Amino acid sequence: MKRLTFKEKDAQRIYNRYMDKSEKLCKILAKDDREDLLMELNSHIYEGINRSENEGEVANLLDVLDGLGDPDEYLKSQVAEMKALQASRTFNPKHVIQALFLNISNGIFYTVIAILYLLLGTFIAAIIGKILFPSKMGFYIGEGHFMLGTSNTVNPNDEVLGMWFIPVILIVALGLYFLITLLFRLKKRK
Amino acid sequence: MIEEFIAKWSSQVKKGTLSYIVISVLEKGEFYGYDLIEQIKQYTKLEVAEGTLYPLLNRLKKQGVVESKWVEQTSGIPRKYYHLTEDGKQVAKAMDLYWEELNHSLVKIKQ
């Protein structure tokens, strides 16, 4: 992206600081999304200062930047939405977790997704636990209770999955993962 | 109290109709973000914050109502132009119809 150049040193400094901060905030996005967002921001600043009626570059630039607001506020929702889109396009857990983190304040949907993701993490931990401690980790069903994990208080005879523990939990975890991705895609269509 | 009430109500109306206003302006042709804000200002006297318009355009894009394309400029700073998709044109017609009906109902109430 071609950055703007100013004759006045102060204007250049203010502009560079604004763009540096914006770039930093967009770093979390995919390259194409990041460039698209920053290029549009740059284009808006360019059009704004060229139409401004003030005298002096600093005043022109400040007018445009005041209109946009602080990059934190201006970019927050856009970055969060773009990240959610990226998460819905890919199966990459990194993007999903980043999207959750950015969108958690945007409503109950992301809170539910975060809880589902936590559950997914538990299943993966249970599989690792079963590999490391095969005799202790299990799915126990007793009278009026059931438990996934390991405990000294449960009766080992209550374990119901045995050698099927890893395949069953893996299938459940995969199902949950596809459910999370599906929910993201449904949200994207809304 | 009256001024406060009207200010709140106007803000709600503005929020609720902004997507309709943007779609209506885009029915006239393709515009880039800055130009779109100017057009809205010119037609409606509404001050649309950039922080509101660009996320809205992104949402409309995501919903398939608008499309965008980058157009190189001699200045070296390209512009991102937005235009309505075919679905977007249908949405615009449906919104016009709904708005007309709403307006008609209000006129009837006021008579």
| Domain range list for chain A | 1-90, 107-190
Least CA distance to B47: which residue of chain A?
Answer: A67
Least CA distance to B75: which residue of chain A?
Answer: A46
Any residues with CB less than 8 A from the CB of B106 and at least 6 apart, and which? none
Q: Pairing mode, if any, of strands B79-84 and B66-71?
A: antiparallel
Could you give the ipTM of this predicted complex? 0.86
Q: Give the total number of structural domains in chain B.
A: 1
| pLDDT value at residue A146 | 82
* Ranges under pLDDT 70 in chain A: 91, 101, 103-107, 188-190
Of the ranges A38-47, A85-94, B2-11, B40-49, which is most confident?
A38-47
Q: Give Cα separations from A136 to A156, A164, A165 (angstroms).
A: 8, 14, 12
**Range of the structural domain that residue B54 is part of:** 2-110
Overall residue count recorded for chain B in this entry: 111
- The CATH number covering residue B43 comes to 1.10.10.10
Closest Cβ opposite residue B50 in set A39, A74, A82: A74
The candidate with the shortest Cα–Cα distance to A29, out of A38, A41, A21, is: A38
Distance CA A86, CA A89 (A): 5
| pLDDT value at residue B23 | 97
| pLDDT value at residue A178 | 86
Gap between the terminal Cα atoms of chain A: 32
Q: How far is A189 from chain B (nearest CA, A)?
A: 7
Confidence at B70, pLDDT banded by 50, 70, 90: very high
Q: Between these two residues, A98 and B76, which has the higher pLDDT value?
A: B76
Q: Is the pTM of this model over 0.80?
A: no
Closest Cβ opposite residue A78 in set B32, B55, B80: B55
| pLDDT value at residue A93 | 73
pLDDT 10s digits, B97-110: 999 999 999 999 99
Distance CA A39, CA A47 (A): 12
